[in-house]
Amino acid sequence: MGQTDSYVPETSKIEHIIPQNAFADTDALGRMDYHNLVVCCPGSVKRIPGISIEKSMHCDSRKKNRMIHFSPLSSDIEKTLSYITNTKDPRAGAIISSDETIMTEIGGCGDKCYNSNDNILNLNHPTLRESRISVVKGIIQSMKIREKKNKVTIEWLEKILRQYENKTIPYSYVSPLDGTQKTYEAYMEFRGIAIYYLTKKIRSLSKQKLS
């Protein structure tokens, strides 16, 4: 792992899905195969005031040179994942996989088990769960405000869904190459749980219309 190059405007780190030590020292192409690289946010980032994730608890720090049995870049992985979106559930915000091995590796044990060696990525750390469920709470709050004025419709929910599905957040930075300001659009944070929740809500309303 190391710092990303200057084309990435924020401080980030590179993680190898298949660990570097799995490749021979002479296999430079294998070590730097872009299909095997993902960008990670830096450790100990405070997402919630007063709460941060210790560096040793961050996904790349915990993974180290261990192998995981899936690629986060594969569209197939999404088919096995769901989220706990019930805000009253003590596990609210957790990622759930129907694949037992993946569930263990992403961090399927409870709050008291985060040091379990099998929990490789720690994606269900309480801080991450709270960050995810806060997105759902925001959507629910928007729905309540909407209900006071208008009925929450499938069309309205689909509009919100598209905001999470597409790159809709403008981001500007100064290029270190030529000093000019660059602007691009990025995805919203924790969009996975938002897409999952909104899709379920739309399906539910669709069934109500048919009944």
Tabulate helix, strand, coil % of the chain (nearest 5): 40, 15, 45
**For residues 170 and 193, what is the distance between their CA atoms, to the nearest angstrom?**
21
**Residue 2 included in any domain:** no
**Residue 111 included in any domain:** yes
Task: Please report the DSSP string for 9-59 in residue order.
Answer: SS--EEEESS-GGGS-TT-HHHHT-GGGEEEEPPSS--SBTTB---GGGSH
Q: How many domains does the chain have?
A: 1
**Residue 1 included in any domain:** no
Q: How confident is the model at residue 78 (pLDDT cuts 50, 70, 90)?
A: confident
- CB neighbour list of residue 41: distance below 8 Å, 6 or more residues apart: 12, 13
pLDDT higher than threshold 80 for residue 27: no
**Residue 191 included in any domain:** yes
Structural domain range at position 131: 13-210
pTM over 0.75: yes
**Residue 6 included in any domain:** no
155 or 7, which is more confident? 155
Average pLDDT over the chain reads: 80
Q: How confident is the model at residue 149 (pLDDT cuts 50, 70, 90)?
A: confident
103 or 193, which is more confident? 193
Contact 126, 111 (CB under 8 A): yes
**Residue 179 included in any domain:** yes
Q: How confident is the model at residue 25 (pLDDT cuts 50, 70, 90)?
A: confident
